[in-house]
Amino acid sequence: MSTAPTSTQKPSDDAATAARRPAFFNRQRLASLVVWIAFACYVIPLAIAQPQFISFYNIISILMLISVYALIGFGEGVVVLSGGIDLSVGSIVGLAGVVAAVILTGHSGVGWCLVAIAGGVLAGLLIGAFNGIAVALLNIPSFVATLGTLSIALGVGYVFSAGQQISIDNDPFLNISINAYFGIPIPIYIMFIVFLLLWLVLSKTRFGRYIYAVGGNIQAAFVAGLPIRRVLISAFVISGGLSGLAGVLLAAQITAGIASTGSGYELTAIAAPVIGGISLAGGRGSIAGALFGVILLGTIDNGLTILNVSPFYQHIIRGFIIILAVFLDTIASRRKLV
């Protein structure tokens, strides 16, 4: 993946760009459009050939499918913007589901449902805080720290569940994924609310600006007096918390807590923001990109299923699409290796 582009537009002595106003159709905009156009090239023919693809029911099922991925993708997006990476998100999904399931064992009623939700999210927040402390206070590179917690969270999940699948029969909890308002299930609302909140925070608030600054040039952020450690810890806590929430929603969907359910999700979580134009080197991109990335991946999976493509091939196609999407973005924004 392209981690090098950040410093390609080097300040050089021939920067006559200084006085130019940002045009409406500048390269940046164009670049973000290219992937959308490619996306449309996939969706429109498919919708004509298979009208069920754009039925309300199918769109809802796509959104349902991606709501879990979206939450962890958002969290990952925040961490990547801050210049790090979080590999532990998949394990947190499993752990949070197990925690919720354990809490619900033998307990019914709305009260316990809320406790279970809180417990799952809290588990994610704790792992996230652990990641943040390891990275920001102990100076462990995030790749290594979260590779460690990937294993730790998975192990803790196995211990809590004794390696078993813990089924859930608390009705209010299961209703989270069944109840719908205006035909739209709750997880989809949650996804969009979280998206809106994060978008506001990242683009409109000081904290968001700090995330970009720390990811863009941590030395400069330090000299400017920003609380860089707090910013980094917050990014991991957000990611952990959202992964915990995703785990709770997933447990409600599959009516069980299974420690290994989220294994491998980190790949999608990282791919989504990158497809959406968030730079893996940090400091560049928008959380909307992460949303776009999961929508793209979810739609493609769904489309391939409708077209009856075997799941084995789906993996291969998915991998190529990730590379292709980033490649298109690279061409459009004229990024180069050096």
Partner 1 sequence: MSEPILECLEIGKRFGTTPVLSRIDLRLQIGRVTALMGENGAGKSTLLNIIAGLIAPTTGELRIDGEPVREFTPSAGQAHGIQIVTQELSLVPHLTVADNIFLGRELTAGSKHVGYLQSRRMFDEAQAAIDAFGVPINARDRVEQISLSYAQIVEIIRAYHRRPRILLLDEPTSSLTSNETQHLFDIVDKLRADGTTVVFTTHKMDEVERMADDIAVLRDGEITLKAAARDLSSAEVVNAMVGRKLAEQRLVLPEVADVPPVLAVEHYATRAADGGADTAFDFAIRPGEIIGLAGIAGAGRTAFLKSVYGLHPARQGRVRLAGADYADRSPSRSLARGLIYIPESRKEAGLVLSQGIAANAILANLGRFSGIAGWLKTSREHDVTREALEALRTKYESTRASVAQLSGGNQQKALVARCLIADDPKVLLLDEPTRGIDVGAKADIYEIIVELARHGVAIVVSSSELPELMTLSHRIAVFKDGFIARTFERDAFQEADIVRTAIGA
Q: Contact positions toward partner 1, by CB under 8 A?
A: 6-7, 9-22, 204-209, 212-213, 216-217, 219-227, 283-284
Q: Toward partner 1, which CB reaches closer, 63 or 202? A: 202
Q: Toward partner 1, which CB reaches closer, 7 or 139? A: 7
What is the DSSP annotation of 289-313? HHHHHHHHHHHHHHHHHHTT--HHH
Dist. CA 169–CA 306, nearest whole Å: 31
Q: Toward partner 1, which CB reaches closer, 83 or 262? A: 83
What H or E segment, with its residue span, contains residue 64?
A: helix 56-81
Check if the beta carbon of residue 99 is closer than 8 Å to that of residue 123.
Answer: yes
Q: Toward partner 1, which CB reaches closer, 12 or 139? A: 12
Quote the tokens at residue 251: 């447990």
Taking the alpha carbons at both ends of the chain, their separation in whole angstroms is 14
Q: How far apart are CB 202 and partner 1 at their closest, in Å?
A: 11
Q: How far apart are CB 250 and partner 1 at their closest, in Å?
A: 31
Q: How far apart are CB 235 and partner 1 at their closest, in Å?
A: 16
Check if the beta carbon of residue 270 is closer than 8 Å to that of residue 85.
Answer: yes
Check if the beta carbon of residue 129 is closer than 8 Å to that of residue 233.
Answer: yes
Which of 206, 220, 249, 270 is CA-nearest to residue 78?
A: 270
Q: How far apart are CB 208 and partner 1 at their closest, in Å?
A: 8
Q: How far apart are CB 288 and partner 1 at their closest, in Å?
A: 16
Residues in a beta bridge with 181 = 184
Q: Toward partner 1, which CB reaches closer, 21 or 315? A: 21
Q: Toward partner 1, which CB reaches closer, 187 or 282? A: 282
Q: How far apart are CB 63 and partner 1 at their closest, in Å?
A: 29
SS3 166: strand
Dist. CA 302–CA 314, nearest whole Å: 10
